[in-house]
Amino acid sequence: MTKVLSVASECVPLVKTGGLADVVGALPAALAGQGVEMRVLIPGYPRVMAALGKSKAVLTWDDLFGGPASLRAGKLGDGVLYALDAPILFDREGGPYNDATGADWPDNPQRFAALSLAGARVAAEGIKGWSPDVLHCHDWQAGLAPLYLREMGAGDRVASVITIHNIAFQGMAPGDMVGTLVLPPGEFTQDGYEFWGDISALKAGLVYADKITTVSPTYAAEIMTPDYGVGMDGLLQARQADVVGILNGIDGEAWKPPFTKPSGKAKHRAALRREFDLPDWDGPVCVVVSRLTEQKGLDLLLMALPALLDNGGQLVLLGSGEPGLEAAYRDFAAQHPGVAVTIGYDEDLAHRMIVGGDAILVPSRFEPCGLTQLYGLHHGTLPVVALTGGLADTVINASPAGLAAGAATGIQFNPVTAQALAQALMKLVNLYHDQPTWTQMMKNAMAAPVDWGHSAAQYAALYAGMVKAG
């Protein structure tokens, strides 16, 4: 049995801002059948502590970056969850990373250094007879943990791996915070955690972890290039022997479709149209569940939408993000009866949209893995995706070859421009009207392996190969 401590800033069902939470929450159960015991450590945000209820402290700190703290143990499904109860750092209104206005918490460097330090301490000392073989760190919020582990003298006993869920977020802090964050001053160099005069928590993880994973094979290759590496491409090229891309999966039970055949979608499509008072046009109902950002290509979709609407297609969108994009989509919906927009996030609504939609649109400029296209595949809601990252790895394009082989599961477009997206939407409408082809694509999509089975086996093999003697 390989024992793994997973350290992350969010985890379903307790706290979620994006796909990271889904992955962290799903992995322990997925790995249980692979000979891996994974425990999860997350910050003790108010809703986490409320969910934990009465719990015993298994570790304590008199002063953890400004105040007392303790590690509380609880349950995550059938597994163990640790919450870092540090009121001065985490007991506050707002989101995990931002205040009510959307601004970053000014003490984010200390907050997530505390999370990293707690993870390193558990890895180094163990808890009540349980000691992990591997410390698994997720994104910059846990990026300092491998360095702290080394400084505790445990790096030769406990292996560490960091997963890049999105390299664009690097956990920057001013260079004069080296002492504040209890970092070794001698490592504040180009070969250490220094990045253009500042501290980068992500870079620390990339330098000091034994292995580096990211969430799709294509993204692993992309981030070694200047176009996608955000300044870390040289470091990743130097460590390419230690970099591996492992696709995310989804919780097939939590996202189990309410039908088993393509014909079962019809009543759910009709219900979705009724819910949003959409006219009964003859084209596909497309859905978007996304952050509204340029990264996600939602500015391009605005320009491409007429190609869908003019051909009888419709759009139902759920998301929030950049105020300009939120306003633009609200305005667009007000002027077009075939478009319905909900600003915000509602998990139940997201499920209804993916169940009832004919297609799901993911026009991201870059996408490390993506989960919405996997949810779409699982429900026969055909993805229209940009040819990048995990979108390239998980969708079989309706190219002439893909269609001739009867293997296509969606539509890929490249380059990532409004014109190429508009062409993809017109192709979508044409395929939708070719019902035999469309039905076959739905069958292919619903049969696609999108759960954690294969990926969990890859993680288990990675961990097993990392275990250190002694």
Q: What is the pLDDT of residues 415-458, one digit of tens each?
A: 999 999 999 999 999 999 999 999 999 999 999 999 998 899 99
Q: Which residues of 1-55 form beta strands (DSSP E)?
A: 2-7, 36-43
Q: What integer pLDDT is reported at residue 100 of this predicted model?
A: 86
The C-alpha atoms of residue 442 and residue 422 are separated, in whole angstroms, by: 22
The torsion angles phi and psi of 129, rounded to 5 degrees, stand at 85, -5
Helices 298-309 and 418-433: angle between axes, nearest 10 degrees: 40
Q: What integer pLDDT is reported at residue 19 of this predicted model?
A: 85
Classify residue 310 by burial, with Cβ atoms within 10 Å: 0-12, 13-18, 19+.
middle
CATH number of 2-249+453-466: 3.40.50.2000
Cis peptide before 13 (omega within 30 of 0): yes
Q: Which residues of 302-414 form beta strands (DSSP E)?
A: 314-321, 339-343, 359-362, 382-386, 411-413
Q: What integer pLDDT is reported at residue 254 of this predicted model?
A: 84
Of 214, 255, 289, 195, which is closest to residue 380 (Cα–Cα)?
255
Beta bridge partners of 164: 214
The C-alpha atoms of residue 300 and residue 10 are separated, in whole angstroms, by: 30
CA 358 to chain centre: 23
Question: Is-contact 383 367, C-beta < 8 A?
Answer: no
Let me know if domain 262-447 sits in CATH 3.40.640.10.
no
* C-alpha angle 436-264-338 in degrees, rounded to nearest 5: 80
Cis peptide before 449 (omega within 30 of 0): no
Classify residue 200 by burial, with Cβ atoms within 10 Å: 0-12, 13-18, 19+.
buried
Q: What is the pLDDT of residues 348-407, one digit of tens each?
A: 999 999 999 999 999 999 999 999 999 999 999 999 999 999 999 999 999 999 999 999
β-strand 134-138 against 2-7: which pairing, if any? Answer: parallel
- DSSP secondary structure, 109-153, as one string: HHHHHHHHHHHHHHHHH-BTTB--SEEEEETGGGTTHHHHHHHTT
Q: What integer pLDDT is reported at residue 470 of this predicted model?
A: 60
Enter the DSSP assignment of 344: S
Establish whether domains 2-249+453-466 and 262-447 are of one fold: yes
Q: What integer pLDDT is reported at residue 218 of this predicted model?
A: 97
Question: Is-contact 145 120, C-beta < 8 A?
Answer: yes
Please list the ranges in the chain whose pLDDT falls under 70.
470
The torsion angles phi and psi of 268, rounded to 5 degrees, stand at -75, -35
The C-alpha atoms of residue 186 and residue 191 are separated, in whole angstroms, by: 10
Residue spans of the domains in the chain: they are 2-249+453-466, 262-447
Question: Is-contact 395 375, C-beta < 8 A?
Answer: no
